[in-house]
Structure 1
Amino acid sequence: MCGNVHSMKWSKGFKRLFIYSEDPYVENAEGSFLGRTIFHYSNETKNSTLEVFPMRIEDEGEYSCEITFFNAHEGCAMVQYVNLTIQAIPSYPQLSFEDGSRVQNATTVGPFDEAEVLILNCESSGGKPVAQVTWYNGTHPIAGAWGRIKEKRTGVVSYAGVLCSLWISNVLFVVCEVRMCVCVCV
């Protein structure tokens, strides 16, 4: 046994985020953890848990927990590391015309003149990993739809556009789908 714990310090990089001490008693969240933590410690088992909620994408990274004992000896693990990976659900798709004006979900647009070109955009943000955005005509993917991932001040955005040449014979029922792919390699 390593003896009684004097203090525990949780950090991300060089920024301290949480400190606990028994003597004098201190239990304090700092920085981005302020108001988002619950700490549990058992003096009998020496187990501790730091709960952080709600999780944020920017919480991802490597954390260290530095433990200081009153009477430590050489075999005591003083610093432990953990790498935290965050997954986040993307935002609901936002539809817009080429000029940027919004299209409400389940909206019928038109009428359009024959041979007119309609450009619709669909974007989703906040997903981690980045969401895949796909256009469908009914249940079939639309050939020629384009997509890209772009950085915005608010984060990464998945973006897809579709260009439809409108003819009397091709009344369209277009759907934009946002899909998050989580891949596990074994």
Structure 2
Amino acid sequence: MGGPSALPLLLLLACCGAPGGANLSQDGYWQEQDLELGTLAPLGEAISSTVWSSPDMLASQDSQPWTSDETVVAGGTVVLKCQVKDHEDSSLQWSNPAQQTLYFGEKRALRDNRIQLVRSTPHELSISISNVALADEGEYTCSIFTMPVRTAKSLVTVLGIPQKPIITGYKSSLREKETTTLNCQSSGSKPAAQLTWRKGDQELHGEPTRVQEDPNGKTFTVSSSVTFQVSREDDGADVVCSVNHESLKGADRSTSQRIEVLYTPTAKIRPDPPHPREGQKLLLHCEGRGNPVPQQYLWEKEGSVPPLKMTQESALIFPFLNKSDSGTYGCTATSNMGSYKAYYTLNVNGVDSQGTKKLAQSSLRRHKTPARCPRPPAPTTPSSAASWRSSSSCCSFCSSSSATT
């Protein structure tokens, strides 16, 4: 029935000795090869075979050169390194993707000053290519001219550096709560770069980066847009578009657009001094904030213009503060974006003035020298002396003085 079984053949091959009595496990001069014939293969065909290799055949594998793939930024320098264990008295050679020989051993073959010899020994040939261009990208070949010729490939990838991004779409100024859209674009990246947005320290979520191939067929132009609503806190903020690309190696490449936001004014009233006292000079400063800043300030006291007071720009001036100045004052700050009214309550003898009466009493205590009272004239009648004492503020002091004298 059919041909001989494959299993006895496999056992036969596995049991055969090496030529010359060589130890297979130690000398390693054998190689086993499996052949996948599928489930429909005839039983008479071998499914495993043993191929004998001589020491000369194994030694020839040491003549196989090896290299590595390299990545370089456009304008940079790349080093191509080729090594071999057994050169078999032959020289190594580098050639470019167009199969033009660059170096054969230490001899230059292509007149290109960008290509320089780095190291040439029987076991190594290293060359450098400076000012690398996108056109230099491709597969470079290292060869050794043994029998047969052996080669190794090195794929050189050139990264295109993205240009500084450009922001468009900004108007001269924006109004508070207005929505705006900004666009950002950068060309020359390879592979395509990514764009990100931020406003101050806040990340903005723009549309996904759009990619378009440049006319040179090698690099790309990327673009993105972002839409957001502005507030008064955004006045003077920088909106930044940044390019992220491996060729930049973490370096920042970005463009910023400072935005101006117009908004209605706010105001507050600041007294100078902070705690006014009766008899002092007082200035009430109306401090307005807005974009544009308020151009006009209007003062009023409880609905009417303060009488006999002077105004200087945004300040209300009290040359000599007295109790009648107490009341609620209002300041209206106005710009072409609108108006804002601030209030301040002035209480000359109240808590806001920090106890004017107590200060007066303290002042009297600091001057303890008694006032001299004139000696009263000799009374003609008892009633006249009593009348003087009752009308004089020094009555008790003068009575005691006359008693001691």
TM (normalized to structure 1)?
Answer: 0.64
Higher deviation after alignment, 59-68 or 111-120: 111-120
Helix, strand or coil for the counterpart of 2:168? Answer: strand
Task: Say if 1:94 and 1:123, in contact at 8 Å, map to a contact too.
Answer: yes
Which segments of 5 or more consecutive residues in structure 2 lack a partner in the other structure? Answer: 1-86, 248-405
Q: Distance in 2 between matches of 1:135 and 1:162?
A: 8
Task: Say if 1:135 and 1:145, in contact at 8 Å, map to a contact too.
Answer: no
Helix, strand or coil for the counterpart of 1:153? Answer: coil
Q: Distance in 1 between matches of 2:175 and 2:243?
A: 30
1:99-114 to 2 correspondences below 5 Å: 110-112=172-174
Query: CA offsets per residue over residues 138-166 of structure 1, 9 Å max, x none?
Result: 22222354531111215212211223455
- Report the alpha carbon displacement of residue 113 of structure 1 after superposing the two structures with TM: 5.3
Helix, strand or coil for the counterpart of 1:126? Answer: strand
Q: Give the number of aligned pairs.
A: 158
Which of residues 154, 157, 161 in structure 1 aligns to 2:221? 157
- Report the alpha carbon displacement of residue 53 of structure 1 after superposing the two structures with TM: 1.0
Corresponding residue for residue 29 of structure 1: 110
Helix, strand or coil for the counterpart of 2:240? Answer: strand
Matched, 1:16 2:99: yes
Q: Distance in 2 between matches of 1:174 and 1:40?
A: 47
Helix, strand or coil for the counterpart of 1:80? Answer: strand
Matched, 1:173 2:238: yes
Which of residues 154, 174, 194 in structure 2 aligns to 1:82? 154
Return the letter of the residue paired with 1:67.
I
Corresponding residue for residue 125 of structure 1: 187
Query: CA offsets per residue over residues 4-29 of structure 1, 9 Å max, x none?
Result: 43x724031xx12433347xx95232
Distance 1:19 1:87, change over 3 A: closer
Q: Distance in 2 between matches of 1:37 and 1:118?
A: 52
Corresponding residue for residue 117 of structure 2: 39
Helix, strand or coil for the counterpart of 1:2? Answer: coil
What is the alpha-carbon root mean square deviation over aligned residues?
3.3
Instruction: Identify which of structures 1 and 2 has the higher relative contact order when contacts are C-alpha pairs closer than 8 Å and 6+ apart.
Output: 1
Task: Say if 1:133 and 1:179, in contact at 8 Å, map to a contact too.
Answer: yes
Corresponding residue for residue 105 of structure 1: none
Distance 1:175 1:40, change over 3 A: closer
Corresponding residue for residue 103 of structure 1: none
Return the letter of the residue paired with 1:158.
V
Distance 1:122 1:29, change over 3 A: farther
- Report the alpha carbon displacement of residue 37 of structure 1 after superposing the two structures with TM: 0.5
Q: Distance in 1 between matches of 2:232 and 2:207?
A: 21
Matched, 1:55 2:132: yes
Q: Distance in 2 between matches of 1:118 and 1:158?
A: 21
Query: CA offsets per residue over residues 29-84 of structure 1, 9 Å max, x none?
Result: 26xxx3321024535x342112111223343332212333xxx345xx62111122
Task: Say if 2:93 and 2:125, in contact at 8 Å, map to a contact too.
Answer: no
| Bigger CA radius of gyration | 2
Greater fraction of residues in helix? 2
Greater fraction of residues in strand? 1
Which of residues 59, 75, 89 in structure 2 aligns to 1:3? 89
Corresponding residue for residue 168 of structure 2: 96
Distance 1:47 1:121, change over 3 A: same
Task: Say if 1:9 and 1:16, in contact at 8 Å, map to a contact too.
Answer: no
Q: Distance in 1 between matches of 2:185 and 2:124?
A: 45
Task: Say if 1:41 and 1:47, in contact at 8 Å, map to a contact too.
Answer: yes
Return the letter of the residue paired with 1:63.
Y
Task: Say if 1:2 and 1:73, in contact at 8 Å, map to a contact too.
Answer: no
Q: Distance in 1 between matches of 2:102 and 2:136?
A: 17
Distance 1:144 1:93, change over 3 A: closer
